[in-house]
């Protein structure tokens, strides 16, 4: 790594650490920004790097929420009784039960989502292009509907988790660092993965899956692994969200296909598909745009967001990183053969 | 010498079109074998059948003595039977070296090997093979920008990178400029003699195939018309008629 790059990474890490203290009133927004970065980076693992545009990654977010919550509750109380009381009964959690349950729950959420990714993937990876997108979207929508009719997990009312024990402002910072930790881990994981032979193989699947088959790459197996890795991080992020939100319900917060489920795709398109930094940049820009329009264009915020999506998809498909790569290929180590004089047209 | 590919009585039809009918042939290990025939005679269909692109209607295909006609493309590829495409297929958005590195044989890799970064040996092999096909100077260029002929050479180098035991080449010289063809013939021969790769080649250029192959099969209208050494084929009246349209 060059000196400049080391400095850049050090600066970003430093900013990550001090930003919740620098902008204390924006603690929750900053935590949400990290959530956006996590879901964008993981969406790009299949969408950008492997060429499988999933609209169903939100399934892992919602499932992660439920798994983390159910594990935490189940370790201390009977889940059925807890959810049927819908927050009415008095259910106390000691610090150990809260934090221990959260730690186990969040990890269990990641692992469980990886497992479901393998199962759903083996059914849906036979689909290509838009069919895969719609197929996975169907899975996420169906899951939301099924869960909202499942009384044992609280049905349409969802689940109310215990509130953070202690000072709530400290709680906000606590959740910020949980998201930031998972986000940084996701970024480092992606950076490493894309440099391996495995990373090259999933790029091959994206560029020409039939050729990859013909070269003997284990295409289905690699697709399942990739989605399982992505699902692990999304599941953990969902688990943390469950505790941050305190109360969540299936359709609007857990399996929110039309919000976060779409936002992650837009973030990646905006930042640049199939690049390491694109999803991060896209998430930051998108989140800024969203927060600004929600504050200053209230009433028109969805229109502005829709316009952003249309402009990105129609005119700016390569995103920020793609545009930079086109303008300054030498920054990306791409060599372009110099055209002979008179050949420039 | 033992045979590496054994095709016996293979038939394949698409709807009412009979593409292959009762085809039998053998490719001996370590040799270069040719497959010729007029356009539409079923050569590429036969290649596709061998490498598992579509199920065959009847007959049997054996590779190294094992039945492969029920296997999928990637399973067959992992046994070391590889093909190149008539319409060249490379990863156009990547440069030459990346194309080569992707072609490392995954059949020899566990998932833990796959999760390693490329080694210095991988890069050296990639460079060496790019030099072998004469693309070393162009290795850092986006391969989609290479000329069609150069892309064919790249695809050939990628196939070699995969360390196959047997390579099926679908018209390796089509679209390559005549002065490059001699170089290509030389390289195909060296791939065969130096790397020990058995070659089975579809070719329209008679000069090329007569120069390389030890044995040639000729298809016409989906049926096996003739087989023999280059000399026998060249002097076979049926083959000449088939090409001139008297058939």
Q: Which residue of B114, B139, B146 to mutate against A (max A Cβ within 10 Å)?
A: B114
pLDDT tens track for B57-111: 999 999 999 999 999 998 999 999 998 888 888 998 889 999 999 999 888 788 8
Q: Which residues contact B245 (CB under 8 A, 6 or more apart)?
A: B38
User: What is the number of domains present in chain B?
Assistant: 2
Inter-axis angle of helices A301-315 and A278-296, nearest 10 = 150
Q: How far is Cα A79 from Cα A243, in angstroms, rounded to an integer?
A: 16
In a domain, A11, yes or no: no
Which of B74, B98, B141 is nearest residue A216 as measured by Cβ atoms? B74
Q: How far is Cα A255 from Cα A149, in angstroms, rounded to an integer?
A: 13
Q: How far is Cα A288 from Cα A271, in angstroms, rounded to an integer?
A: 13
Longest dimension (CA), chain B: 59
pLDDT tens track for A98-122: 999 999 999 999 999 999 999 999 9
A69 and A193 inside one domain = yes
What residues form DSSP beta bridges with A213?
none
Q: How confident is the model at residue A343 (pLDDT cuts 50, 70, 90)?
A: very low
N-to-C CA span, chain A = 38
Q: Would the CB atoms of B94 and A210 count as touching at under 8 Å? A: no
Inter-axis angle of helices A168-193 and A27-47, nearest 10 = 20
Which of A193, A196, A207 is nearest residue B91 as measured by Cβ atoms? A207
Contacts 24+ apart (CB under 8 A), A309-314: A309/A262, A309/A266, A312/A266, A312/A269, A312/A270, A313/A269
Q: How confident is the model at residue A65 (pLDDT cuts 50, 70, 90)?
A: very high
Q: How close B118 gets to chain A, by Cα (Å)?
A: 6
Q: Which of A3-17, A219-233, A276-290, B154-168 has the lowest mean pLDDT?
A: A3-17
What residues form DSSP beta bridges with B219?
B224
Tell me what the pLDDT averaged over chain A comes to.
89
A174 and A112 inside one domain = yes
Q: How far is CA B140 from the centre of its chain?
A: 26
How many CA atoms lie less than 13 Å away from B198 in the CB half-sphere? 21
Q: How confident is the model at residue A2 (pLDDT cuts 50, 70, 90)?
A: confident
Q: Given the DSSP bridges, would you call strands B166-170 and B81-83 parallel, antiparallel or unpaired?
A: parallel
Q: Given the DSSP bridges, would you call strands B166-170 and B198-202 parallel, antiparallel or unpaired?
A: parallel
What residues form DSSP beta bridges with B227?
B217
Q: How close B237 gets to chain A, by Cα (Å)?
A: 37
B147 and B247 inside one domain = no
- Among A256, A282, A316, identify where a domain stops: A256
Q: Would the CB atoms of A214 and B51 count as touching at under 8 Å? A: yes
A134 and A195 inside one domain = yes
Q: How far is Cα B194 from Cα A172, in angstroms, rounded to an integer?
A: 66
B27 and B76 inside one domain = yes
pLDDT tens track for B223-247: 999 999 998 988 888 888 888 765 4
Q: How confident is the model at residue A341 (pLDDT cuts 50, 70, 90)?
A: very low
Q: Which residue has the higher pLDDT, A44 or A3?
A: A44
Q: State the residue range of the domain holding A269.
A: 258-345
pLDDT tens track for A293-335: 988 888 888 899 889 988 988 888 888 988 888 888 777 776 6
3-state DSSP call for residue B154? Answer: helix
Q: Would the CB atoms of B113 and A197 count as touching at under 8 Å? A: yes
N-to-C CA span, chain B = 34
Length of chain A equals 345
List the one residue out of B5, B12, B6, B7 whose CA is nearest residue B58.
B12
Residues of A whose CB is below 8 A from B54: none
Residue B197: φ, ψ to 5°: -90, 130
What residues form DSSP beta bridges with B166?
B81, B198
Q: What is the pLDDT of residue B161?
A: 93
Give mean pLDDT, residues B124-128: 94
B157 and B169 inside one domain = no
Which of A195, A207, A212 is nearest residue B117 as measured by Cβ atoms? A195
Give mean pLDDT, residues A241-247: 93
In chain A, positions 185-204, which contact chain B (CB-CB < 8 Å)?
Answer: 193, 195-198, 200-201, 203-204
**Residue at token pair 């460079």:** B127
In a domain, A57, yes or no: yes
Q: How far is Cα A270 from Cα A231, in angstroms, rounded to an integer?
A: 22
pLDDT tens track for B151-162: 988 999 999 999
List the one residue out of B92, B60, B39, B74 whose CA is nearest residue B202.
B39
A130 and A227 inside one domain = yes
Q: What is the pLDDT of residue B182?
A: 85
A239 and A126 inside one domain = yes
Q: What is the pLDDT of residue A87?
A: 61
Measured between CA atoms, the residue of chain B closest to residue A338 is: B141
Q: How far is Cα A285 from Cα A309, in angstroms, rounded to an integer?
A: 12
pLDDT tens track for A118-164: 999 999 998 988 999 999 999 999 999 999 999 888 888 889 888 89
Q: State the residue range of the domain holding B125.
A: 92-163
Q: Which of A30-34, A82-86, A225-229, A300-304 has the lowest mean pLDDT?
A: A82-86
**B13 near B55, Cβ under 8 Å?**
no
A115 and A189 inside one domain = yes
Please say if the pLDDT value at position A39 is more than 90: yes
Please say if the pLDDT value at position A84 is more than 90: no
A187 and A297 inside one domain = no
- Among A225, A256, A287, identify where a domain stops: A256
Q: How far is Cα B31 from Cα B193, in angstroms, rounded to an integer?
A: 9
Residues of B whose CB is below 8 A from A203: 91, 94, 98, 102
Q: What is the pLDDT of residue B1?
A: 57
A182 and A215 inside one domain = yes
Q: Given the DSSP bridges, would you call strands B81-83 and A159-160 parallel, antiparallel or unpaired?
A: unpaired
Q: What is the pLDDT of residue B165?
A: 93
What residues form DSSP beta bridges with B5?
B27, B63
């Amino acid at each position: 790594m060059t000196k400049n790059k080391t400095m850049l990474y050090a600066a970003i890490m430093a900013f990550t650490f001090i930003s919740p203290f620098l902008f204390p009133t924006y603690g929750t927004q900053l935590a949400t920004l990290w959530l956006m970065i996590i879901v964008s980076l993981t969406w790009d693992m299949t969408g950008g790097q492997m060429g499988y545009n999933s609209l169903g990654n939100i399934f892992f977010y919602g499932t992660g929420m439920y798994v983390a919550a159910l594990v935490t509750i189940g370790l201390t109380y009977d889940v059925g009784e807890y959810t049927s009381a819908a927050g009415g009964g008095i259910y106390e959690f000691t610090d150990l039960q809260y934090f221990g349950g959260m730690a186990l729950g969040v990890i269990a959420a990641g692992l469980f989502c990886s497992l479901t990714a393998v199962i759903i993937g083996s059914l849906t990876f036979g689909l290509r292009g838009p069919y895969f997108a719609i197929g996975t979207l169907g899975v996420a929508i169906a899951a939301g509907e099924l869960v909202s009719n499942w009384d044992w997990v609280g049905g349409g009312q969802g689940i109310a988790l215990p509130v953070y024990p202690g000072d709530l402002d400290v709680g906000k910072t606590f959740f910020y660092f949980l998201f930031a930790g998972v986000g940084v881990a996701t970024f480092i994981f992606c950076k490493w993965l894309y440099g391996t032979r495995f990373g090259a193989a999933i790029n091959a699947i994206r560029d020409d899956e039939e050729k990859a088959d013909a070269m003997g790459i284990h295409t289905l197996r690699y697709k399942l692994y990739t989605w399982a890795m992505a699902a692990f991080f999304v599941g953990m992020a969902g688990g943390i969200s469950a505790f941050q939100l305190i109360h969540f319900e299936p359709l609007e917060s857990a399996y929110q296909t039309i919000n976060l489920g779409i936002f992650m795709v837009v973030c990646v398109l905006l930042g640049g598909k199939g690049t390491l930094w694109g999803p991060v940049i896209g998430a930051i820009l998108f989140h800024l745009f969203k927060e600004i329009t929600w504050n200053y264009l209230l009433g028109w915020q969805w229109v502005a967001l829709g316009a952003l999506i249309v402009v990105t998809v129609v005119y700016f498909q390569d995103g920020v990183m793609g545009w930079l790569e086109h303008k300054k290929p030498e920054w990306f180590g791409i060599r372009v053969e110099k055209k002979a004089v008179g050949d420039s047209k | 010498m033992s045979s590496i590919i054994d095709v016996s009585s293979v038939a394949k039809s698409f709807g009412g079109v009979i593409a292959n009918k009762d085809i039998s042939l053998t490719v001996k290990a370590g040799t270069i074998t040719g497959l010729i025939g007029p356009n539409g005679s079923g050569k590429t269909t036969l290649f596709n059948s061998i490498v598992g692109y579509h199920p065959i209607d009847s007959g049997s295909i054996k590779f190294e003595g094992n039945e492969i006609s029920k296997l999928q493309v990637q399973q067959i590829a992992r046994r070391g039977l590889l093909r190149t495409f008539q319409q060249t297929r490379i990863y156009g958005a990547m440069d030459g070296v990346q194309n080569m590195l992707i072609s490392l044989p995954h059949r020899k890799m566990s998932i833990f090997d796959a999760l390693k970064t490329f080694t210095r040996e991988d890069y050296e092999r990639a460079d060496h093979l790019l030099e072998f096909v004469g693309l070393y100077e162009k290795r850092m260029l986006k391969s989609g920008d290479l000329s069609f002929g150069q892309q064919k050479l790249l695809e050939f180098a990628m196939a070699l990178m995969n360390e196959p035991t047997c390579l099926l080449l679908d018209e390796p010289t089509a679209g390559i400029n005549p002065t490059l063809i001699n170089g290509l013939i030389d390289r195909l021969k060296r791939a065969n003699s130096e790397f020990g790769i058995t070659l089975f080649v579809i070719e329209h250029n008679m000069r090329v195939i007569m120069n390389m192959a030890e044995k040639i099969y000729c298809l016409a209208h989906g049926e096996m018309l003739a087989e023999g050494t280059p000399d026998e084929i060249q002097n076979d009246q049926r083959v000449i008629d088939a090409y001139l349209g008297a058939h």
